[in-house]
Structure 1
Amino acid sequence: MIIISFLTFSRSLEAKPFEAEFEENIKKLKNRNEHVVELWDNTRGLPQNAIYAMNFDHAGFLWMATEEGLARHDGLEIKVFDKGGYNRMLDQTYYSFFKGKSGIWASSDRSIALLDKTITKVIDCNHIADNSWIMTLSEDDNGYLWIGTQDGNVHLWKNDTFSLLPNWKPEQGTETQSLFHKGDGIMLIGTNNGLYEYNYQKNTHRLLTERNIVARKVQVEGGRIYIAVPEKGVYRVEEDMKLVELVSFEKIKDVGFHTITKDKYNNLWAGSTENGLIRIHSGGIERFYFDEIKNYTIRNIQYDGENLYLGTHGRGLVIVKPAKVQKINHQELREKNVKALFQDSNDNYWIGTKSEGVYKIENGAIKSFNTSNGLLLNWVNTIGEDKNNIYVGSTAGISIIDKKTEKIIGSITEKTGLKSNYVYVVFEDSKETLWILTRYGGLHYREKGGELKRVSLPDKFRNTNFNTIKELQNGELMIGSMNYGAFRIADHEFKENIDLPLKPGENVIYAIHQDSSGDLWFGTHGGIVLYKDGKFSRLTRENGLSSVSVFSITHDGKRGIWISNNFGVQYFPEKELEKFKTSESESFHAASVVYNKSHGMPNSETNGLIFPAAFKDNTGKIWIPTVEGVGIINPMNMELKDNSANFKWDELLLGGEKISIENEGLLIPAGTSSFQVSFSNIDFTNPSEFTLYQRIPSKNEQWIPIREQRSIIFSGLRPGNYELQVRVMRNGQLDGIHTLPMEVKAFFFEMIWFRLIVVSLACILAYFIVTYIAKVKVNNTLEKLVQERTLELSSTNDLLKEALTKIESQNYSLKEITWQQSHLVRAPLTKALGLTHLLINYPKYKEVGKSKDQVKKEILETLEQLDKIVRETHKRSESLVNNK
């Protein structure tokens, strides 16, 4: 398969002067010490190490096509787009790119994908590439896509429909290899059988070159047509099919014609088929060689004027960029384990090493001092000076080098007064007193023209190892030790021991710094310890340090401090340090920038337990010793711009679905328990300049640092409206805050109105419950009263029944009495009345049959009978009264 990339030639070849900065960057590409090579392969996120096509989209992402999918790079990490993660993709392997107004059109054999931050569209081309494949793409001024296939055809994709180019019938064996839209309805078609001009308004075409010309690349600049012809060269096409040679193939026989591309500065770049890179410009042809890819073919080239991007076959993506950290241009010091560094009063540099003595650099010339010319030992721990001499300290004592003669003229050892030959520090203070610090309580000083003396120390410090020193603003000295804290010395006398709040393994003071407020900062094996107003605060990895060990602290004189550690050099701006001094939060995180091997450091592991462990030279540059050479940082090169970050919201990962995030914000469906928001801060020059933080103000006002990851996972976020904020700090200063609105939807039972209804119903229910309970209580009370009353009434009823029975009995008796009165009394009474009437009227009745005496006697008997009845009735009445 022939891999197609696209050339943009230029009127360049007639050339104009380039900007000085651009040419300076070009020179850095040739100087090994002034550029760094960054490799991105399948061990760093690339799906596969052969890159077929490469270009930047409109958002600034770098896209690459590989056999195992598309890859998108933002400078910090690579994101893979393949069929496993993006099921809308029809193919796994894409071979060519074309960047148009719509984005990057990526073609596989039989499908096309449009790339712009993500995959925005996929086109199935199976029916137009039947028994063929896609070879080239182009986009016209209207945004319509033109597709050239291996069978020589050209297809138009317009309004989601394919159509063949009218009246275009290529002869057998013709391949469409390049397309270019000239404008005004004219399209150039490069084929293996010549270059054609096609008018798609009139549907006519004409041949512009001979048929034996293979027009691999086509470009129009200033109305002129340029073509690249394999194995012949680069030509300008004139009228009457004439070709004017611009670059002869004889000069670039090893050029890979499919790799030719043009940068924005009118340079042509191409990969060599043999080795390296070729630059073609008005000044001629230049070649660039990089050891990291000398055995690998370059397929794709992009150059932005600062960084060079190379897509290779087998080595993945290679980015060549100017180094942020410089190296010393002396072969003698390359890859050496460098110890103490020093600049003397004559501006000469002295470089101590672990095993090869000390080097002096003067006006670019270098000279070596080692055991062969009198140095006590080639292992150098410290370098110092006085007016006449340079002092080189080692584990065997101090070697003295005369500044004028550059000869080793003597030594200082245990024999001449040192407590130990293991010398950590040689230092001259502002009063021209020379201080020498050693093991075993060796705190020596020698005043100008005087003898070597020792500071008297308390007995418990007699075996202390002293390893660093700092002259304070008041002229006193602060001396660091191993395991016994710091010692304040004034007028050559011990004044105070400051015991740091560190564990025994951490309590090693490597460096001491005093800020403008007079507060002390100790670089230790347990982080940075701040000593302010008699109190300690500690800056550790949790607060932003990249390493637990801090070997040196160097102020750049303007913006902040630079510390060295096991992972490179870390910069903290003063503003962040001031925040730390006043912060009471244990989770405080200081924004910083880390410089390491990827920025040009010879090695990310710097050296400590030496003096000086770093220094700022007279030009403001900071020198750092590493295990493989010296790194030199220019703090003034740090860019401080507002809103310079290219921050992009990327994708929402929701239930396995990846959704591109647009500016209007996010809508999270109801019932979603977790989701993930990803973003990018695109920067290929120095991504480590940026420190990112995130927060949701309505939930937490505190900024939470974002480490290397570029995504935020949310779990259990309650329904509502939120704002996700990401704060971008560049070189420790605020660059901008980026806000993403988020709405988490709720089920109807999670809505406020539903909750209000539920609360209202609950209140009503509670009211009825309370009312019911109160009613039940009242009813219970009433029931109890009723029961009591009923019991009383029942008892009364029984009494009433008994009384009624008695009454009924009495009534019966009364009835009997009444009956007796009405029957028993009535009869004798009537008889007595009759007899009495008879007796009174006796003379009238002649036939009575009885005498008057008999009648009287019978009346008496009748009355006695009546009296008896009356007495018995009275007696019964008396009995009723007594039984009431």
Structure 2
Amino acid sequence: MKKIFILIYFCLFCYGILCAQDAKKMVVYDEKQGMNQWHITKMLQDRMGFIWISSWDGLTRFDGYEFVTFKSRPGDDSPLENNRVRDIQLAANGDIYCLVDDRWFLFSQSKGTFINISDDENEKLNKVKTKNRLRLTKRKKVQKMGRKMVDRQGNVWFCTPDSIVKTINYRKPAVPFVLRSSDQARYFFVDRSGNYWVSTQKDKSVSIYNRGNKLLGYLTPTGEISKKYVPFSTAVYAIYQHNDGCIYLGTKPGGLYKLKSRKKDFEVQHISLGNDKANSIYDIKADRVGRLWFATFDGIYCLHEGRVEHVRQTKGWKVRCLHFTQRDILMAATTTGLAVGRLSNKTIGDMKFHLHCREPKRVESLGNSATMDILETADHQIYVSTESAGVDKILSHDLLADQLEFKHFDKTMGLQCETITAMAPYRKDWIWVVGGYTLMMLNTKTGEVRNYGTGFFHDQYRYSDARPVCLPDGRWLFGLQNGAFCLSESELSKPGTEQRVVFTGISVEHAPMQYAVAHLRSLTLNKHQRNLRISFSTLDFSDIEAPCYAFRLHEGDKWIFIGKEHTVTLPDMQPGDYELQVRSANSAGVWTPGIATLRIHVTPKFSETIWAVILYIFLSLATIFTLLYIYLYIRRIKRKQHEVLEAYLALLEDKNGVGQEVTKEREESEQIVSTEEDDQMMKRIMQFVDEHLSDAEIGIVEMAEAAAISRSGLNRKMKKIVGLTPAEFLRETRIKRAQQFLLGTSKGVSEIAYICGFADPKYFGKIFRSMTGVSPTEFRQNGGKADK
């Protein structure tokens, strides 16, 4: 009899576990998770939410991600003689009192250091400790004092001899939908009578339920409704009810089945679309004139008046979904792109589609060519789900354009999963987005995303391709790879846990992380510090799954979604002021208002300040003005030198008197240059040149002797006065004299060359052309006009 009672109790206990939605989970923290000391003396939670643990290895802080230990280290000027922390108490200002052996110290959270306290304060803390111990002794709870704790979320923490155990109480919001076996849910459908149909893949079942969620039975291949499980002919992948009330089942690879309702069962008619690929039907839709269209793995087929037609262009296409717009535009999601075509009165087989694929160099193109589902909202916005690029919203108004523009919703926009298998409309402005391991909601107006993952369901789900459907009782039915579950809207409307993000660590220029930053509100980086890494946490110890985070650097900027990553790295920051804001999503997928803010000032180098810019502008202007002055000065000097040269050459021409009258002014020895010494030297040179111009043998040495100056001095003086070397001056003089003879006499070119000191007439012609641009003969013919 005793064994029978035990068996009955065990069965009732198991039944209670299976039916109950409330559950518990235990999490163990030991050395593998970062605990560095098993001898724990006490635990407490401070006002910000950190868990503090005292042990014989110092004071440890836990933020939900890592354990950080504060203790005395060599050379750190800590007053602690050892790290045996036997007790901890929370101070009024949020700091932690630590009892090390028989002496109390204060741990400052803002500085991350231990501080000595007065003897009076130490004695007061000892009295409080003794009083608490006596009180707990009467209640026989001395052994449990400090070794068990309940945090703000209601989680129970207690110490074991070698670890810390956290017990989380939670409630599963989803109710399992009982299927015959743990099989993949393929399709959900609610007919016009309010019954809903559920098809599965491997066991090929089609189960039918009434409005009261009672199983009516299983659809048999002959159309009967069996109370016992009977598989259908093949797995059903699509269900559609036509205007005439007939229900069509698209199967894989059995083709199409038409069900005509009778009193208690259905009349079944099998229709083959063609080959095995054509008989793999993934979706069924009807246009406004009643023609049925089928998405198959051999393209698009149409059934009208008992005749099956194939759209020839789509042959070989693997089509997963079909959608008709109000303007008779047919859209098809295929594995190679999004096909768009207009219905016409022409032959169905000749219908043309434009296939939109991913374009690598165009951001506005489709995110991924492999498309899964198409959804049009009540306000006629069209969304396309992709195999690995999230959801794309069509922005183009003309769906028949050669190029469509898309807006992408992916992980950068907040989606936790980018493999989107199905979509369904939810409430106004919201749609369901079903991913591989995550259920999401997208707001079509604001772009807000809510992720419902393990933290919300307290379970790990792997979703199937089945579109979610709203059941007659208002619950939503979701398909899984191993079953299905129901979710009521009341669970979605619950606010979830309130979270506030707290900064937990800061590393500057790749230095070791500084952890005493929870109270930090502003940070200044010097001119050599440009790299920053910041960690944070929500301090919510109830979450089974880590929350999602987003950050931005300025108020009003677009949020940058970083998923479950709880650190932000800011490399090579530019000088200026920043306002780092971090927010998180709670277990209900809602972004909470508890935003952590840190003002950051990056000090600029001098080269990056406005004063440096002003200095650079001033130096640039000064350089420009200096170069301009030098340029103008050189031009002035060269002009003056040219004028002096022309004056002396003119003086030489006047003295020569070839074809010209000698004026009284030039006969007088007027001073041409600024100094009398230079003028006298030039006159001696001019006299020497005038006397020896026809002598081809004279050179610089003879000129220097005539001017009574050294060769180098002559060269320097003449460059200064006329801008030419003595050799250049002699050549210039000879060419000027030759021009006079060419214009003023009828002598031949060779004779003039010899008279002007050129030993070779050909060399004379070459030099003359190089200086005037024409030959001597052309110069005479042109009347003295030169090209140069």
TM-score class normalised by the smaller sequence:
0.5 to 0.7
Name the structure 1 match of 2:522.
Answer: 665
Structure 1 residues 68 and 217: alpha-carbon distance in aligned structure 2, compared to 1, 3 A threshold: closer
Structure 1 residues 46 and 380: alpha-carbon distance in aligned structure 2, compared to 1, 3 A threshold: farther
Structure 1 residues 526 and 762: alpha-carbon distance in aligned structure 2, compared to 1, 3 A threshold: closer
Following the alignment from structure 1 to structure 2, what is the Cα–Cα distance between the partners of residues 464 and 508? Answer: 21
Tell me how far 1:122 sits from its aligned partner. Answer: 0.5
- Of all paired residues, the percent bearing the same amino acid is 14
Name the structure 1 match of 2:537.
Answer: 680
Tell me how far 1:709 sits from its aligned partner. Answer: 2.8
Structure 1 residues 113 and 120: alpha-carbon distance in aligned structure 2, compared to 1, 3 A threshold: farther
Unpaired runs of 5+ residues, structure 2, are: 1-15, 298-316, 338-356, 359-367, 653-678, 692-788
RMSD between aligned residues: 5.2
Name the structure 2 match of 1:379.
Answer: 203
| Aligned: 1:726 with 2:579 | no
Alpha-carbon contact 1:554-1:562 (below 8 Å) kept: yes
Structure 1 residues 217 and 63: alpha-carbon distance in aligned structure 2, compared to 1, 3 A threshold: same
Following the alignment from structure 2 to structure 1, what is the Cα–Cα distance between the partners of residues 371 and 259? Answer: 24
Following the alignment from structure 1 to structure 2, what is the Cα–Cα distance between the partners of residues 40 and 476? Answer: 61
TM-score using structure 2 length: 0.59
SS in 2 for 1:228: helix
Structure 1 residues 257 and 531: alpha-carbon distance in aligned structure 2, compared to 1, 3 A threshold: same
| Aligned: 1:571 with 2:456 | no
Following the alignment from structure 2 to structure 1, what is the Cα–Cα distance between the partners of residues 224 and 321? Answer: 30
| Aligned: 1:96 with 2:87 | yes
Following the alignment from structure 1 to structure 2, what is the Cα–Cα distance between the partners of residues 442 and 85? Answer: 75
Alpha-carbon contact 2:461-2:480 (below 8 Å) kept: yes
Name the structure 2 match of 1:711.
Answer: 567
Aligned partner of 1:715: which letter?
Answer: P
Structure 1 residues 499 and 642: alpha-carbon distance in aligned structure 2, compared to 1, 3 A threshold: closer
Tell me how far 1:773 sits from its aligned partner. Answer: 2.8
Name the structure 2 match of 1:593.
Answer: 451
SS in 2 for 1:259: coil
Structure 1 residues 566 and 314: alpha-carbon distance in aligned structure 2, compared to 1, 3 A threshold: farther
Name the structure 2 match of 1:318.
Answer: 166
Structure 1 residues 316 and 502: alpha-carbon distance in aligned structure 2, compared to 1, 3 A threshold: farther
Structure 1 residues 613 and 95: alpha-carbon distance in aligned structure 2, compared to 1, 3 A threshold: farther
The residue correspondences of 1:765-844 to structure 2 (distance < 5 A) are 765-787=623-645, 789=647, 797=684
TM-score using structure 1 length: 0.53
Following the alignment from structure 2 to structure 1, what is the Cα–Cα distance between the partners of residues 109 and 231? Answer: 66
Q: Which piece of structure 1 moves more, 730-739 or 664-673? A: 730-739
Alpha-carbon contact 1:593-1:688 (below 8 Å) kept: no
SS in 2 for 1:746: coil
For these two proteins, the number of residue pairs brought into alignment is 573
Structure 1 residues 563 and 540: alpha-carbon distance in aligned structure 2, compared to 1, 3 A threshold: same
Tell me how far 1:515 sits from its aligned partner. Answer: 2.5
Aligned partner of 2:420: which letter?
Answer: V
Tell me how far 1:742 sits from its aligned partner. Answer: 2.0
Following the alignment from structure 1 to structure 2, what is the Cα–Cα distance between the partners of residues 66 and 329? Answer: 48
The residue correspondences of 1:228-247 to structure 2 (distance < 5 A) are 228-229=136-137, 234=139
The residue correspondences of 1:124-523 to structure 2 (distance < 5 A) are 156-157=120-121, 181=128, 189-190=130-131, 217-218=133-134, 227-229=135-137, 234=139, 257-260=142-145, 299-304=147-152, 306-328=154-176, 336=182, 339=185, 379-380=203-204, 382-384=206-208, 390=216, 392=218, 402=225, 406-407=227-228, 412-413=232-233, 421-426=234-239, 428=241, 432-440=245-253, 442-449=255-262, 451-453=267-269, 463=278, 465-468=280-283, 484-486=318-320, 488=322, 496=330, 498-500=332-334, 502=336, 513-521=375-383, 523=385
Aligned partner of 1:445: which letter?
Answer: K
| Aligned: 1:560 with 2:549 | no
Alpha-carbon contact 2:177-2:486 (below 8 Å) kept: no
Q: Which piece of structure 1 moves more, 423-432 or 319-328? A: 423-432
Aligned partner of 2:168: which letter?
Answer: V
Structure 1 residues 550 and 34: alpha-carbon distance in aligned structure 2, compared to 1, 3 A threshold: farther
Q: C-alpha deviations, 1:185-214, integer Å up to 9, x for none?
A: xxx735xxxxxxxxxxxxxxxxxxxxxxxx
SS in 2 for 1:660: coil
Alpha-carbon contact 2:199-2:237 (below 8 Å) kept: no
Following the alignment from structure 2 to structure 1, what is the Cα–Cα distance between the partners of residues 370 and 626? Answer: 74
Following the alignment from structure 1 to structure 2, what is the Cα–Cα distance between the partners of residues 392 and 531? Answer: 39
Q: C-alpha deviations, 1:593-644, integer Å up to 9, x for none?
A: 2322x54444x242425xx565444454434455676554444334677995
Structure 1 residues 55 and 312: alpha-carbon distance in aligned structure 2, compared to 1, 3 A threshold: same
Structure 1 residues 347 and 801: alpha-carbon distance in aligned structure 2, compared to 1, 3 A threshold: closer
Tell me how far 1:431 sits from its aligned partner. Answer: 5.6
Following the alignment from structure 1 to structure 2, what is the Cα–Cα distance between the partners of residues 322 and 642? Answer: 12
Unpaired runs of 5+ residues, structure 1, are: 1-27, 125-143, 146-154, 166-177, 182-187, 191-215, 219-226, 235-248, 250-255, 262-298, 355-377, 414-420, 581-589, 805-884
Following the alignment from structure 2 to structure 1, what is the Cα–Cα distance between the partners of residues 284 and 206? Answer: 12
Tell me how far 1:665 sits from its aligned partner. Answer: 1.6
Q: C-alpha deviations, 1:310-357, integer Å up to 9, x for none?
A: 444445442413134345599x99x95664697989999999888xxx
Q: C-alpha deviations, 1:355-413, integer Å up to 9, x for none?
A: xxxxxxxxxxxxxxxxxxxxxxx8256544699995647xxx8596747xx346x7653
Alpha-carbon contact 2:44-2:51 (below 8 Å) kept: yes
Alpha-carbon contact 1:530-1:536 (below 8 Å) kept: no
Tell me how far 1:56 sits from its aligned partner. Answer: 1.3
Q: C-alpha deviations, 1:842-872, integer Å up to 9, x for none?
A: xxxxxxxxxxxxxxxxxxxxxxxxxxxxxxx
Q: C-alpha deviations, 1:536-569, integer Å up to 9, x for none?
A: 74544454433343344354446734444432x3
Following the alignment from structure 2 to structure 1, what is the Cα–Cα distance between the partners of residues 152 and 53? Answer: 16
Following the alignment from structure 1 to structure 2, what is the Cα–Cα distance between the partners of residues 524 and 669? Answer: 46
Following the alignment from structure 1 to structure 2, what is the Cα–Cα distance between the partners of residues 469 and 85? Answer: 72
Q: C-alpha deviations, 1:448-507, integer Å up to 9, x for none?
A: 3474446786x79952522356799999988655562256599xxx99562447479988
Name the structure 1 match of 2:501.
Answer: 647
Alpha-carbon contact 1:674-1:716 (below 8 Å) kept: yes
Following the alignment from structure 2 to structure 1, what is the Cα–Cα distance between the partners of residues 73 and 432? Answer: 42
SS in 1 for 2:148: strand
Alpha-carbon contact 2:424-2:467 (below 8 Å) kept: no
Following the alignment from structure 2 to structure 1, what is the Cα–Cα distance between the partners of residues 73 and 223? Answer: 67
Alpha-carbon contact 1:310-1:318 (below 8 Å) kept: yes
Tell me how far 1:64 sits from its aligned partner. Answer: 3.2
Alpha-carbon contact 1:572-1:593 (below 8 Å) kept: yes
| Aligned: 1:525 with 2:387 | yes
Q: C-alpha deviations, 1:822-841, integer Å up to 9, x for none?
A: xxxxxxxxxxxxxxxxxxxx
1:122 is matched with which residue: 114, 117, 138?
114
Structure 1 residues 710 and 499: alpha-carbon distance in aligned structure 2, compared to 1, 3 A threshold: closer
1:763 is matched with which residue: 614, 621, 641?
621
1:57 is matched with which residue: 25, 43, 46?
46
Structure 1 residues 663 and 37: alpha-carbon distance in aligned structure 2, compared to 1, 3 A threshold: same
Tell me how far 1:704 sits from its aligned partner. Answer: 1.8
Alpha-carbon contact 2:185-2:200 (below 8 Å) kept: yes
Name the structure 2 match of 1:545.
Answer: 415
Structure 1 residues 592 and 475: alpha-carbon distance in aligned structure 2, compared to 1, 3 A threshold: farther
Alpha-carbon contact 2:237-2:282 (below 8 Å) kept: yes
Tell me how far 1:58 sits from its aligned partner. Answer: 1.3
